[in-house]
Each structure stands twice: as C-alpha cells, then as structure tokens.
Amino acid sequence: MIRPILKYGDSGLHAPAAPVKAVTEEIQTLIDDMIKTMYAAPGVGLAAPQVGVGLRVFVIDISVGETPTELIAMVNPSFETCNDDASITEEEGCLSLPGFSAVVERRKQVVVSGLDRNGRPQKIEGEGLLARAFQHEMDHLNGTLFVDRLRGIKRELIIRRIAKLRRNRKW
C-alpha cells in the first residue's frame, strides 16, 4: 500500500523515532509499504516517520528501482563510523519538502549498522550518494529535516515559502 508522506510542519517529522522492539509481520508490512511509497514518489530514501510511523526504520535505493540489489531496508540503524575528515556539499531534496532543495554539507563516507528486514544484523559502508542518503534518513529518525541544517537566508526563504503555501492551503 502506498502511504501518504507527511510534509514539513507535521509533528511526527520533528520527534525522534522509537526503536523497533522486534521485526514482526507488521514491521515487514511497513517496510513493504515504505518501498512502494518511495518508488511511487519517486525518491531514493524514506524513513518511517515520513509516513507517520515513529519507529527507527528506513529504506534506501539510490538506483530508484533500476537495480533491485541496491534496495536497503534498515531497522534500528546507528552510525558505526563517520569519516570526519572528508565532507561533500551538494544539492539535497526531501519527499517531505516537495519542490524545495538546498545545498547541504554531509560526510563523504559513513558506516551504518542495524538489522535487515528479516531481523539479521547488517553493516553497510556508504560513500557519496549512499552516504548522503544514510545521513539524510538518519536525520529523519532523529526528528531533523535537511532544512533544519540550513542557516541564514536560504533557510528563512524556504520556511517563509512554506508558510505562504500553508496560508493558501497549498501545503
């Protein structure tokens, strides 16, 4: 089932997600729904809070469905290591901020560990776009969106445009 994606300002996006206690049938269904929702959007990643579920689960596919083996489902993820020495600054968007993007600085390489969709431990090293996607989705699990990482006029412009869209009932 394709689930509705929450937009910036919805309270569920701004609260830390809770750990998953067990990978149950309900979690399997959530993961399946998130994958369908991510591909339908289309996007390269989606965190459970974005579909209104406050649990530490995300899915990522930087191939956007082109390479099935690149689909990653992660339950209770955490950063193992982050290369603090190397960062990269690139344009980033978000399914919860449709129509908006900004240049965001992220670490170039990270290692994330957690459980796969079957409850087995996994550890994945991400570099470049995959590292960016890991950090972006981990931010969602911590109640942060990319716009929260911005400073100054760029952040203010996005927030003002969203407020105007809200006033006009277009958000």
- List active site positions: 137
- Tokens 């959007």 label which residue? 41
Q: Give the rounded distance of the alpha carbon of 30 from its chain centre.
A: 15
Please state, in angstroms and as integers, the Cα–Cα distance from residue 108 to each residue in 88, 96, 167, following that order: 6, 23, 38
Question: How buried is 170 (Cβ within 10 angstroms: 0-12 exposed, 13-18 middle, 19+ buried)?
Answer: exposed
For residue 85, with 0-12 CB atoms within 10 Å meaning exposed, 13-18 middle and 19 or more buried, which class applies? exposed
Contact 48, 26 (CB under 8 A): no
Residue 123 DSSP SS3: strand
Cα 157 from Cα 162, distance rounded (Å) = 9
